[in-house]
Structure 1
């Protein structure tokens, strides 16, 4: 099968398409015929060796989430069968076939590209809300709200009954508002503008951009334990929380599927690339200034 791989650490230019052996679904896993795969910041970190525990040995794939049609079911798997449309998390998903470790059924009306755009952002969004103990009626501030995680976080938080205030660039104000949040820019005076937008006090806050705003978010909430970052490891030095992984992926995906089914969650696909342009997709992703998600189209 065709897959995008790299044989040395480096920039997007080390990625290439090659033929590799098809993976198979082991116990508790499923394999899909991939229709689309998401593009994540972690793809670039992995490709650059920032997540490696040693030297690279042989070709490594890329991609952490995908959507497609089940074509192989591993031992012990229930509730899904060959031919079902699914989306989920896996390893090396920018390929014609990929094994998923967590998944949910993709609603019939949701296209594969939107399904592929969902897994990593919705899992991260749910972890963020759980980390700070967000409750119905709380006011949540999201710093860096226009990206893929912000897109999911705003909609899931709103579905859970939270009020959301998001910071984003001037160009992305209408985008953030369309997702269901109150919006303001992140330039000088943003803290005061957030306070003005809040109906009452700010209860919880999430840093999605790593822009050095942890002290300001703590000032807004009044409690460092109610602030979480997915992008700034130094947040713990201020008493805030960080979350870089873990969580209950299957539960997050099921919640997302239910919200997609009734129209309360829609992942915005800003750009779709053919598999041949995977290097360009990762290069653009590395700029960190996009809105929504980019996806790689594998099969039509």
Structure 2
């Protein structure tokens, strides 16, 4: 115990009326270096007001901002075998899972919920990149499939927010098996005639882009999101050529036909609600009538063909 730090300093501060200031009051914009007050950033859904840079956001915050009044009912993730391969590298896999659970408050990288957006009942699933890079393992695969099953049972559209570094290496082939399993879940939803919208966030890479993240009826990307299978550095080292500027970024992929829209996080809810109500042939309320598209929304109809 440090006597000066734990007793003397607090006593002096209390006598002088000083208060300890939290260290995270200001957040630095990675693009411009501008300092932004964290309360302002939180109110703006973690989008830097001046530059429009989209910060990473937790799964819980994502669903809170997305659903009407921030209210939703969580879908329980199925229980699976923990550490089936007894994997260990620099650290035991079970210990990595414990750390990730303590850090995020989640059981795994997937959080799903049911609720409404502009009055339309939907099911939404979010991958949290803070949980081991949003990696896809058995638990995440089962959670995604469970969300699709709820959408089928309740006959609701499905919205999935992808954010992942790919399959979870600590589970080996069992992780890779989640790719075809989740693909089957997507097919079942489509056979039932229910819309499936994918929102690609930063980053969405690896095996996730080889399965459910690229099988949506509509693909929307957040501005500046990195989207691809292998990373640009790996591709450059393999082909030994310099890649084009902005390669694998959301705007580049939209120009080349891999993404339908690039939409600001601030406009995602309105845009998705409008799209789903069109697909479901549901009357649009005046609040989201598509009179004029905002500048940050580029539709599939106006994008250049690849």
TM-score by length of 2: 0.26
* Bigger fraction of residues in strand: 1
Higher relative contact order (CA 8 A, sep 6+): 1
Q: Which structure: greater helix fraction?
A: 2
Task: Decide which structure has the larger Cα Rg and report it.
Answer: 2
> Taking structure 1 as the reference length, what is the TM-score of the superposition?
0.26
